[in-house]
Amino acid sequence: MPAQATILKLIPQVEKVLNLSSNDADLKAIPRSALTLFVRQALEELRQGALKGELTQIPANSKILSRVKEIAAEANRVSLREIINATGIVLHTNLGRAPLAQTAIESMVDAAKGYCALEYDLQQASRRDRHKSVEDLLVELTGAPAATIVNNNAAALFLLALVLAGGRSAVISRGELVEIGGSFRLSEIIKAAGVQLKEVGSTNRTLIKDYRSAIEEDPEEIGLVLKVHCSNFRLIGYVAQTPVNELSSLAKDKGLPLAVDLGSGSLIDLSARGLEGEETVSSIVSQGADVVCFSGDKLLGAAQGGLIVGREDIIKKIKTHPLARTMRPDKTTLAATEATLKLYRTPKEALKLIPILRMLNLTDQELRQLALKLKATIGRIKGLKTSIVRVNSQAGGGAAPERPLSSWAVSVESDNGVISALVHLLRLEPVSVVARVVSDRLLFDVRTIFPSQFKLLKLSLARAWSKLSSEIKI
């Protein structure tokens, strides 16, 4: 076997591979600057293989060029491509959260492919507010006096804190100082808005008297009473939280606004679907919150956005603040949000047509039938065993983290102990499959897999298994 140093010396130079590529029509069509990067990547893979002792001989020139082609093809693929979500997490932040309803997709396409009446009133032939259609629907569906939309819920929280309490303090329970995805802490967002946090109560118990004491201690300092949804975690046991209606009475008595960051924010009561404790936006409004903000791409099932509903004077201040323009959504976001909100006018239709609501609404029998259908679609693959098993799904998006949703999955097992390698290859397929592994079993939770993706999953699994089998000679 050649020594490591010998293998390293035998790796061809970049210029040599570039010269060889000039005889290949596909590679010749690639701009030289880009091709050079692809060649360097292919050669670096050979170097790393030699250094790890995995490369015992230099591949033929044709194989090196083939690898360069693969790298070029991968570089030209769209990174935000289709993924089959087999994890069972309905609102998976890493996978783009809520998939959109068909009408929302069509509305986005219509808005994107040409000109649209974004800020143009066709009736009056004059300029109009780009947010108006969405705002009118939010008012209709939540019962709030006014509404607006920004580009995400963190921006909504930042803006309402800045407008209502900039230069002063916001009273908040210690148990609600949450950290959201990407290591962003609520406290840091609020402080960036020039608002200090006046923490009250304890981690597990905060009573109305705690808020009152903090406000009365220095009434001139306090500009806002803030309540925040505990996304991704729950406190259980000896706990107490002050309900919105009590906070509303106190805030009004003290002449302060009450803001509620609802996080996911649903327009339909989903308690019967395993999401007990997730209050609707209209419920929070009716309990006396002066302003409520929530995400568009979570339980609402629309595009990413920060939706804000509440008192007319507060919404007006938010909309006219100079920073509001830096946070405004684009035409495609507005189109998708408007189309999604219109579905909520008929809740039964929303449950059928909005993908995440349909996933949450699946019965146990429906899930089991889907698992049986997926197992039959996958069929028999030599070296793999499939069965259907009970599993737990999650709503995700910070909603009801303590309440797993019973589901069914197709379990894939192998006697060769290679499931971890298989799941890795599945992620690299042209149509990537992201699943979970439990006790060396690959689980495809059917709750989050569209039936139209079953055949695609089968193809990805067959290709990945074939590649793995050839590598380890199963």
Where is the domain boundary, 353, 379, 397?
A: 353
How many distinct structural domains can be found in the chain? 3
The range of the structural domain enclosing residue 363 comes to 83-93+358-472
Same domain, 47 and 184: no
**Residue from 240, 250, 241, 344 nearest 290 by CA:** 250
Per-residue pLDDT of the chain (474 residues; tens, 9 = 90+): 566 778 888 899 999 999 988 888 889 889 999 999 999 999 999 999 888 888 888 899 999 999 999 899 888 877 778 899 999 999 998 999 999 999 999 999 999 999 999 989 899 899 998 999 999 999 999 999 999 999 999 999 999 999 999 999 999 999 888 877 666 788 899 999 999 999 999 888 989 999 999 999 988 999 999 999 887 677 777 888 889 999 999 999 999 999 999 988 899 998 877 777 788 999 999 999 999 999 999 999 999 999 999 999 999 999 999 999 999 999 999 999 999 999 999 999 999 999 999 999 999 999 999 999 999 999 888 889 999 999 999 988 777 776 889 999 999 998 877 898 999 999 989 899 999 999 889 999 999 999 999 999 999 999 999 988 877 665
**What does DSSP say about strands 436-438 and 146-150: parallel, antiparallel, or unpaired?**
unpaired
> The domain that contains 248 carries what CATH number?
3.40.640.10
Per residue in 91-125, is it b (16+ CB within 10 Å) or e — as a string? bbbebebbbbbebbeebbeebeeeeeeeeeeeeee
Same domain, 377 and 330: no
Tokens for 372, please give them: 């049986």
Three-class DSSP category at 131: coil
In sequence order, what are the beta bridge partners of 385? Answer: 413
Q: Give alpha helix (H) positions in 22-90.
A: 25-28, 32-51, 61-76
What are the strands, taking DSSP E only, across 75-141?
A: 83-85, 89-91, 120-121, 126-127
Same domain, 406 and 328: no
Q: How many angstroms separate the Cα of 249 from the Cα of each of 207, 212, 289, 438?
A: 14, 11, 10, 49
Same domain, 458 and 325: no
Same domain, 307 and 380: no
Where is the domain boundary, 353, 368, 390?
A: 353
Q: How many Cα atoms within 13 Å fall on the side-chain side of residue 114?
A: 3
Same domain, 114 and 40: no
Same domain, 363 and 349: no
Tokens for 203, please give them: 């981690």
- Identify the H or E element spanning 147: strand 146-150
Instruction: For Cα atoms 33, 36, 42, give the angle at the middle one, nearest 5 degrees.
Output: 150
